[in-house]
Each structure stands twice: as structure tokens, then as C-alpha cells.
Amino acid sequence: MAIEIKVPAVGESITEVTLSQWLKKDGDYVEMDENLAELESDKATFELPAEKAGILRIIAKEGDTLEIGAVVCTIEEADGKGASTTQNNTTPTATPEAKPATQDNGSTGAPVEIKVPTVGESITEVTLSQWLKKDGDYVEMDEDLAELESDKATFELPAEVAGTLQIVAQEGDTLAIGAVVCKIIPSGKGAAAAAPSSASAPATAKEEEEEKEQNYAAGTPSPAAAKILKEKGIDPSTIKGTGKDGRITKEDALKAEKKAVEPKPAATASAPKAEPSTTAPKAAAGSRDERREKMSSLRKTIAKRLVSVKNETAMLTTFNEVDMKPIMDLRAKYKDKFKDKYGVGLGFMSFFTKAVTTALAEWPAVNARIEDNEIVYSNFADISIAVSAPKGLVVPVIRNAESMTLDEIEKAVRDLALKARDNKLTIDEMTGGTFTITNGGVFGSMMSTPIINAPQSAILGMHNIVERPVAINGEVVIRPMMYVALSYDHRIVDGRESVSFLVRVKELLEDPARLLLGI
């Protein structure tokens, strides 16, 4: 009796998938839990396993878009064919020795699936950035196996049991929460070393060659590599894969692309008679290579949020300028003593943070947010600091900044910036801010209109300091000036509040003694 293999439910928001590749052929004998095909959704790529052993009958074709629950294939009962296949592939002397090999491994049960854990309410997918162990390695319980990267943080995936690692997902794969990353065959210590010697004794060179030929990964491109090869019109069978078991990786596809471009001039030169009347466009001088990179989870999330903010908020920006001379004179006078006492440098960020928290207390709407049909006012100031990390923009939060001193703020900024650059920020350190400060001046920006960090209602943009002539007390003098910008949600913050807030920040920065005195 045949059973139907259907597209499984892979996430609440996923309604359809694409059958990207068959890993088995129609009529093949397949074992239970053996991977049959690769399915690709808008969030992840995953395998379709066989629910029983038998003969595969393919229904859907590669490239078909299938709804959740649609029939992909059927599996017919083997009627003894599976047993004969096993006898053909295994010699009589090897069969009785297979059981002791399993016992030597110390196996205590079926493979344990290691899945992507739930890491936050708003996180639905992660990217497998790096494997810390190799396929076939023996791992201890709680030992880190891989690094997973979400749109907010990077974290490790620990082993749930001790045993031999079997890798399922590849580096660079985007995985939904709950997707299988790898499997661990439970075993005792030293089993990994004993298993190869026990298993290799009965195997012959001919059997090893047959196993390699039957390995579907050999010459098979990963989803990312397949897209690149398809776009460039390159046949995967002409490429030798360098990945596990001969699998074609993204890097292989990129290299093949360069090699595929080279023969074109030779082909044109060898057949000049075919195009005697064709007027070909003049080739552009210089290299015209291109490269494609898959967007990371962080970059995709940033893109979605920025577009969402522009579409869902009534965002306006107001500007002012700050005379930075008072703060610069104060820093020049006390920066050495400040560093000797507190062990951290005295920067501009602590002054801006302190000025912002004082102004937020006077204009609470700038510190508010909209939830459903209500406006939530916070009597505390959790200041988000935009930091440019290697993998993209992150916004860690300084909690209760209104009650912190200048040295405490500087230490918090330093610690969060170091964690961001090392990809060590946690989810808690990046959520819950009430107001954001971003400093484009470190990159040379003179003026900009920063985008609100939703669900907050406002963001302050700092810029570079430029010496220019200004009129003070009827005289033209040269002063170090900085433009500051406040982008705000007009649904919550009115023009009077936004302008008054920014003017208050300007007053405090131009007279830093008021920050220390609290006036």
C-alpha cells in the first residue's frame, strides 16, 4: 500500500514552498527518514524526509510551487525489494559484523534532532553563520556546535546529548525556528574513534566506490549555488564541488562564473564567419565582473523595518545647531583627570545622553510610543545608541540613563560598542529603548534626517563638528559648530514639543555646567 508524502507545515506565516531539487529519482528504493527532496520557502530551505521505506514515485516536479499539505510524492511498499537491495550491497561476512560495530559505538537510541531554539518573540528565522564542529565529530553534552545569527544577536547552539554529530543544515542557510540543524547519534566517550575502525574493516574498496556514487550530495549545488548557476547558464555537472561529499558550494559557483566568462572571446575568434554582418557593440574597457551575496537576516530585517517606519509613521525632522566650544574646552581641561579617575575617556556621547534625558523629562511625549490605540508614556529614559557593527547597524540600550553619571554613561557606551563589534550583544541588550541617539558625524556626515527606531517616537542625529563663522554679540567669530536633527512621529509629538525639545538640548550642551547642576 502506497502512502502520500505531503508538504509539512513549516511556520505560521508560510503558505507555500518551492520544490527546488529532488535528491532521489523516481523508482529509487528509499529508507525511512532518508531525505527525498529540498523544499524552499521565503524564509528557509529544508529537506523532505521519507516517512517509510519503499519505492519512490515522484508526483511534483522541480520548480513547482506547492501549498502546505500538497502531495509531493508517494512511497510504495518494497515487497522484499528493500531486503534484496541490502543483500546485494552487503556481503554475508559483513552483515553479522555490522551489529557489533553499532554496539562498539555505545549507541543508546535513535538519533536526536537538534533544532533551532526559540530566541525571542519577534524572531522567526536565523542564519547558520558557522559550524564549530565537523560532521562525524564526537561532541559532549552542552558543547557548542554552531553559531546562529538572528536579526538582533549571534548565539551558540549547544549539544543536547553526547554522541556523534551528523550535520543537516549548511553554513549560510536561513532556518525557521524549530527547523532541524543537525542530528546527534547518542554514544559513549571514545565511540567516534572506535566507529571508523570497526566499520571500515568489512568494507571493500568496491563498496566504498558504490557508496560515493550513490551519495546524492556529489555534484549537487546548494540552493544559493543553484540560483547563481541558473542565472549564469552554467551546467552543475561541469563543476567539481568542494563542499561536504562533493556538494557544490556558493563559492564554487562564483568561481565557476569567472571561468565560464573566459572562453567567450575564444569562441568568437574561432567562428568569425558566423557573424560577418553583425555589428557588435564596442566592449567597455576594464573589468565588468559582478558578484551576488545573499542578504543576511540582519540586513533583511533592517530593510523591512525602515520601510515600515516610513510607511506607518508621520515622520518629520527639525534641525538646529550647537556651539560645541564649551564642551570641547571642558573636555580639553579635564579629560586626563577624568580618565585617570574613571578609567574611561570623556567623549561627546555622555554629554548628549545627559542632555537628552533632561529634555525628555520636560517633554515626555518625545519619550512616548503608540501601542494599539493608546499612547504609553515612560517615566524613565532607556537610551538606544546606534552602533555600526561588522554585520550591520545595531542599537543596544542604556537602561535608566537619566539616573547615570557621565562616567557611568561612557562606560556603558564603551561596553555596548565592544560587544556589538564582537557580535556578543544579547536580545535583552537590544530591546526596549524609549529614545535613540545616532552619530553620523564619526563618518563625516554634515547633516541628515535619521529614521525613527520603531516603536519609539523620536531619534536625535549628531553630525560632524565644523569650524565656521558665526555671529556672537554682534561680532563674527570662528566656532566649532554641529548640526543636530530630531526626527519625530507627528502622530504623538507636535511641532511645538519637537522644536522645544531640541532647543532645550542645545541650551544644555552650550552650557554644560547646567547638566552638572541639574538646572
Which strand (E) or helix (H) includes residue 183? strand 180-186
Amino acid 90: pLDDT: 41
The residues near 7 (Cβ < 8 Å, ≥ 6 apart) are 17, 39, 48, 66, 67, 68, 69, 70, 72
Amino acid 44: pLDDT: 65
**The 3-state secondary structure of 479-515, one letter per residue:** EEEEEEEEEEECCCCCHHHHHHHHHHHHHHHHCCHHH
State if pTM tops 0.85. no
Q: Are 185 and 105 in contact (CB under 8 A)?
A: yes
The fourth-level CATH superfamily of domain 214-264 is E3-binding domain (4.10.320.10)
Examine residue 455 and say whether the peptide bond preceding it is cis (omega within 30 degrees of 0).
yes
Neighbour count for residue 189 (Cβ, 10 Å): 10
Dist CA 315 CA 309 (whole Å): 8
Q: Cell numbers of 288, please?
A: 565588468
Q: Cell numbers of 198, please?
A: 570497526
Mean pLDDT (10-residue bins), the chain, 519 residues? 84 75 89 86 76 90 87 81 43 40 49 83 76 90 85 78 90 86 76 42 48 56 71 77 71 65 46 50 74 76 80 92 95 92 92 95 94 91 88 86 93 90 83 92 89 92 94 94 95 94 95 82
Q: Does the fold of domain 214-264 match that of domain 108-186?
A: no
Residue with cell 566649532: 480
Residue with cell 527606531: 453
Q: Are 400 and 378 in contact (CB under 8 A)?
A: no
Query: So where are the chain's domains?
Result: 1-89, 108-186, 214-264, 298-517
Residue with cell 567597455: 284
Question: 16 pairs with which residues across the strands?
Answer: 67
Amino acid 477: pLDDT: 95
How is domain 298-517 classified at the architecture level of CATH? 2-Layer Sandwich (3.30)
Dist CA 66 CA 88 (whole Å): 37
Helix, strand, coil distribution of the chain in percent, nearest 5:
35, 25, 40
Residue with cell 554634515: 446
Amino acid 510: pLDDT: 94
Question: 374 pairs with which residues across the strands?
Answer: 371
Provide the CA 152 distance to its chain's centre, in angstroms: 8
Amino acid 42: pLDDT: 64
The residues near 447 (Cβ < 8 Å, ≥ 6 apart) are 319, 463, 483, 485
Cα-based distances in Å from 272 to 263, 282, 391: 15, 16, 49
Dist CA 114 CA 135 (whole Å): 14
Dist CA 47 CA 282 (whole Å): 47
Q: Which CATH number fits domain 108-186: 3.60.20.10, 2.40.50.100, 3.40.190.10, 2.102.10.10?
A: 2.40.50.100
Cα-based distances in Å from 421 to 130, 386, 440: 17, 12, 17
Which strand (E) or helix (H) includes residue 253? helix 250-261
Dist CA 489 CA 247 (whole Å): 50
At how many degrees (to 10) do helices 325-342 and 495-510 cross?
70
Dist CA 289 CA 268 (whole Å): 19
Amino acid 199: pLDDT: 42
| Residues forming the active site | 490, 494
Helix (H, G, I), strand (E, B) or coil at 46: strand
The phi, psi pair for 115, rounded to 5°, reads: -110, 165
Question: 469 pairs with which residues across the strands?
Answer: 478
Dist CA 19 CA 305 (whole Å): 29
The residues near 19 (Cβ < 8 Å, ≥ 6 apart) are 37, 38, 39, 40, 60, 61, 62, 63, 64, 66, 72
Task: Give me the CATH code for the 1-89 domain, please.
Answer: 2.40.50.100
Amino acid 43: pLDDT: 59
Q: Single out the residue of 514, 517, 504 nearest to residue 327, CA to CA.
A: 514
